[in-house]
Homo-oligomer: A and B are copies of this chain.
């Protein structure tokens, strides 16, 4: 994994502490949001001295990024298992399943409503030099990882390898899904069911161009 962490926790105790910090970060995000979240409070609640906190996390952003990454891992883990268990007939079932799992995590995983897998919009990375393509290299977008994984899963499902535009299409689909589901949970803390349904429809219609 990309090292979001300054220092990899070597011993058991450290690893537990890092988990605790992430847990408390998630809870606090739900309580007060990103801006009002303070590193001191996270450290205090996790019963970790502030100095130690900064041994592991370069800054506040890194903390939240680490949480987003943990969320991502959990999500991929879960859909992979569910796919293995379900034995889907059609690619639309995969859409259904992925969205449902996302919704499920929104409902049950602390902090997921605020950050899910995503960077909390932050910095444009300095004066935008012309001609500089910034994605795809260093700070690879998490949604891209999701798309990547879904592509593998899809190709596995469909023995016939789909068209070449599929990669881009999946990325677009993931990004759109993310946005519409955020809307659904903004409108209703439990996730507006109609908007969730629309989200699935949106993705199905769009992907129909790229999949059989």
Residues of A within 8 A of B (CB): 29-36, 61, 113-114, 120-128, 130-136, 141, 143, 168-169, 171-172, 175-176, 178-180, 182-183, 186-189, 194-195, 198-199, 201-202, 205-206, 208-209
Contacts and interface: CB of A to CB of B under 8 A. Distances in A.
Contacts of A209: 201, 205
B206 A183 contact: no
A198 B143 CA distance: 17
Contact of A34 (B122, B180, B188): B122
A123 B178 contact: no
A interface majority secondary structure: helix
A169 B187 contact: no
A136 B183 CA distance: 12
Contact of A178 (B61, B141, B179): B179
Contacts of A194: 168
A187 B136 contact: yes
A148 to B, nearest CB: 14
Given A30-B124, A131-B189, A172-B199, 20 more contacts: A30-B128, A31-B124, A32-B123, A32-B126, A35-B123, A113-B128, A120-B121, A121-B121, A130-B189, A133-B189, A135-B188, A136-B187, A169-B198, A171-B183, A175-B180, A176-B179, A178-B179, A201-B209, A202-B206, A205-B206
B175 A183 contact: yes
Contacts of A130: 189
A192 to B, nearest CB: 9
Contacts of A33: 122-125
A176 to B, nearest CB: 4
Contacts of A29: 124
Q: Which of A29, A121, A171, A178 has the most CB of B within 10 A?
A: A121
A198 to B, nearest CB: 5
Given A122-B35, A205-B208, A198 B172 contact: yes
A189 B127 CA distance: 11
